[in-house]
């Protein structure tokens, strides 16, 4: 489950690597972190906001996606992109006629 190649997103791979090292990786919903950024957006401010959000008792954490969920999402996004491109082509053809 935690084997990764370069074709999948980095986040699940990093999650698996942290789990192998004995840590308990928890993913925070970005909407909970965003209000905690007090100043300009930079790495230090974002890291501080993540720590602050993780320490709140009301923060919800999400489970990392499994390989099956990732592959289904890839198929869905690819199909959606093909449908959008087909619609663009048909509309462009209509515009020229």
Residue 22 gets the label, from left (phi > 0), alpha (psi -120 to 50) or beta, of left
Calpha distance 11→18 (Å, rounded): 11
Kindly report, residue by residue over 47-93, the tens digit of the pLDDT.
888 888 888 888 888 887 777 888 999 999 999 999 999 999 999 99
Tokens, residue 20: 């192998």
First to last CA, the chain: 52
Question: How many CB atoms are closer than 10 A to CB 53?
Answer: 20
pTM of structure: 0.52
């Amino acid at each position: 489950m935690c084997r990764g190649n370069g074709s999948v997103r980095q986040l699940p791979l990093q999650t698996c690597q942290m789990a192998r090292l004995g840590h308990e990786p928890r993913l925070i919903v970005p909407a909970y972190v965003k209000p905690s950024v007090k100043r300009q957006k930079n790495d230090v401010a974002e890291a501080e906001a993540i720590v602050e959000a993780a320490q709140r008792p009301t923060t919800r954490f999400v489970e990392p996606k499994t390989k099956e969920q990732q592959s289904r999402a890839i198929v869905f996004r690819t199909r959606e992109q093909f449908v959008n491109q087909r619609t663009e082509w048909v509309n462009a053809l209509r515009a020229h006629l």
